[in-house]
Amino acid sequence: MMTAGGRRSVRTLAVVLAVTTAFMHGVAYGMVGRFATVALDPDKTTLVVVTGSALLSWSLVLSQAMESMTRAFYARSDLDLLLSSPIDSRRLFAVRIGAIAASVSLMAALIASPFINVLALTGGGRWLAAYGAVAALGVAAAAVAALLTTALFRTIGARRTRLVAQIVAAVIGAGFVIGLQLAAIGSNGTLSRLALLASAPIVALAPDPGSFVWWPARAVLGDLGAVASLLAASAALLALAIAIVAPRFADCTTAAAGVAPSAPARAGGNFRHGSPSAMLRHKEWTLLRRDPWLVSQTLMQLLYLLPPAVLLRHGFGDGAGMPVLLVPVLVMAAGQLAGGLAWLAVSGEDAPDLIATAPLAAEQILRAKIEAVLGCILAVFAPFIAALALSSPFHAAVAGMGIAIAAASATEIQLCFRAQAKRSHFRRRQTSSRVATFAEAFVSIAWAATAALAASGTSFAVMPGALAVGILASAHFFGPQRA
């Protein structure tokens, strides 16, 4: 992942990993360092907060596990080889499910390692037991993902499961986080999830401290007995999932292999008439709508716009400064979404030779693709701008300009670094050019900061705006497509 398949110096790679590790541990210290002295036998409030935080993390792990399980059904091409093997296919599929569980657990442990290490260094070695809790939660997430995905296959069929599973994965990944934020907005008037979890009504509704519900929290806090119980329970759940899913895995993968990657051909009477540019824009929108793997990659970004929408609706009464906080959120989301869509439209073209033979000049083809991307951004963010305009036309204008500029900037970066690839490589697009990846992220942040300062009415907005222009100029200079 770090080298995108190319040869790089081991020393450079080691330096990058060391800097990244040190940075992540610094972030972890700022976030959880003050909690290292929490007692092994905490009060109910602490148990509620730790359990809620663990559920937040577990929902994201479950989302990733569902995506991995769905890809195991659809994206693998070794079914014929496995079924022709002299080994019992149920054992092979049991191993595959176990491998997914192991990979999910290892990824979760890798992400959690800076936080656990900081807690262990500042609060004692008992915090290292949290690695066991993370592994147990990862195994449990993989088991639940296998059961859910197989249940979708059995109930709605292979064709619908590919899309529905991606939507469910995105909703699970963001649903719990967004749900807590929406509850916090409604009860405390704040986006702080910890404030909601630690509130008196939530704590009063929670079970007694001796309940088994708190096993995950006690395991995270270093209770070895809770860790052992959690590991045993997750292993039993995984064994149950394997016993149920492994015999049906072959049927599911066979059905998935028979699903056509595109919609069936339609009668000639359904052909559309229009200009070549309009047809090319319609083609891009149709491909975006049909792409099942794109759903889970972009839907979560859109779901995270729900809390700002609720903030717009509530208005926080006399909280006149709240639109200033909403503007950069919208601008940042627009830049990130536009970057992904621009990659799909510009670089992820599966039929470049066919498009090249269209009766359009290269500039017209590129313009139509850009218009398709910006049209998607307009359709997504227009409702938010309209809602913001009802309470503050000035902030709506700033947000609209920021969204347009951030989307155009992200698209321009993708144009500078465009390279022919397949749409199926969307998840690995960051490895094609590190410069493009960082430039896209930094320019979105810079335009979000510019919009925030402009919304607050200060002239300091010129500074991050100049930085964004400088990033764009650098990307245009270093990009292989600058000519």
Q: What is the mean pLDDT of residues 126-144?
A: 90
pLDDT for the residue 321: 57
Distances (CA, A) of 73 to 84, 154, 203, 241, 250: 17, 13, 42, 16, 9
pLDDT for the residue 267: 45
Q: Is it the case that residue 357 has pLDDT exceeding 90?
A: no
Q: Is it the case that residue 317 has pLDDT exceeding 70?
A: no
- The pair of structure tokens assigned to 318 is 């006399």
**Which residues are CB-contacts of 444 (< 8 A; sequence separation ≥ 6)?**
331, 332, 335, 336, 339, 406, 409, 410
In percent, how much of the chain has pLDDT > 70?
A: 66
In 3D space, the residue among 334, 329, 344 whose CA is nearest the CA of residue 377 turns out to be 334
**Which residues are CB-contacts of 130 (< 8 A; sequence separation ≥ 6)?**
112, 116, 119, 219, 220, 221, 222
pLDDT for the residue 123: 85
pLDDT for the residue 231: 92
Please compute, for residue 445, the number of CA atoms within 13 A of its CA located in the half-sphere on the CB side.
Answer: 8
pLDDT for the residue 238: 92
Is the separation of the CB atoms in 135 and 105 below 8 Å?
Answer: yes
Q: What is the mean pLDDT of residues 282-304?
A: 64
User: What distance lies between CA 159 and its chain's CA centroid?
Assistant: 23
pLDDT for the residue 153: 79
Task: Report the C-alpha gap between 66 and 72 in whole angstroms.
Answer: 10
Q: Is the dihedral of CA 123, 129, 133, 139 positive or negative?
A: positive
Q: What is the mean pLDDT of residues 416-426?
A: 62
Please compute, for residue 234, the number of CA atoms within 13 A of its CA located in the half-sphere on the CB side.
Answer: 25
Q: Is it the case that residue 314 has pLDDT exceeding 60?
A: no
Q: What is the mean pLDDT of residues 165-183?
A: 68
More confident residue, 58 or 358: 58
Stretch among 180-184, 266-270, 378-382 having the lowest mean pLDDT:
266-270
Is the separation of the CB atoms in 130 and 116 below 8 Å?
Answer: yes
Stretch among 107-111, 152-156, 222-226 having the lowest mean pLDDT:
152-156
Q: Is it the case that residue 86 has pLDDT exceeding 60?
A: yes
pLDDT-based confidence at residue 268 (cuts at 50, 70, 90): very low
Q: What is the mean pLDDT of residues 444-457?
A: 88
pLDDT for the residue 261: 47
Write down the domain spans for the chain: 16-257, 274-478
- The pair of structure tokens assigned to 107 is 């990824």
Mean pLDDT score of the chain: 76
pLDDT for the residue 431: 47
In 3D space, the residue among 386, 395, 377, 258 whose CA is nearest the CA of residue 324 turns out to be 395
pLDDT for the residue 262: 45
pLDDT for the residue 139: 92
More confident residue, 284 or 188: 284
Number of helical H runs and strand E runs in the chain: 19, 0
Q: Is it the case that residue 257 has pLDDT exceeding 80?
A: no
Q: Is it the case that residue 412 has pLDDT exceeding 80?
A: yes
pLDDT for the residue 236: 94
pLDDT-based confidence at residue 250 (cuts at 50, 70, 90): low
pLDDT for the residue 223: 84
What backbone torsions phi and psi does residue 200 show, to the nearest 5 degrees? -60, -40
pLDDT-based confidence at residue 61 (cuts at 50, 70, 90): confident
- The pair of structure tokens assigned to 72 is 């195991």
Q: What is the DSSP string of 394-421?
A: HHHHHHHHHHHHHHHHHHHHHHHT----
pLDDT for the residue 483: 41
What does the radius of gyration of the chain's CA atoms come to, in whole angstroms? 25
pLDDT-based confidence at residue 398 (cuts at 50, 70, 90): very high
Q: What is the mean pLDDT of residues 123-132?
A: 88
- The pair of structure tokens assigned to 17 is 């990993």
Residues 311/316/318/320 CA torsion (nearest 10 deg): -30
In 3D space, the residue among 290, 262, 254, 266 whose CA is nearest the CA of residue 157 turns out to be 254
More confident residue, 366 or 19: 19
Q: What is the mean pLDDT of residues 122-145?
A: 90
In 3D space, the residue among 226, 249, 245 whose CA is nearest the CA of residue 237 turns out to be 245
pLDDT for the residue 405: 93
- Kindly report, residue by residue over 4-51, the tens digit of the pLDDT: 555 656 677 778 788 888 988 898 888 888 888 877 777 788 888 888
Q: Is the dihedral of CA 472, 475, 478, 482 positive or negative?
A: negative
pLDDT for the residue 263: 44
Q: Is it the case that residue 306 has pLDDT exceeding 50?
A: yes
Task: Report the C-alpha gap between 239 and 221 in whole angstroms.
Answer: 27
Q: Is it the case that residue 391 has pLDDT exceeding 60?
A: yes
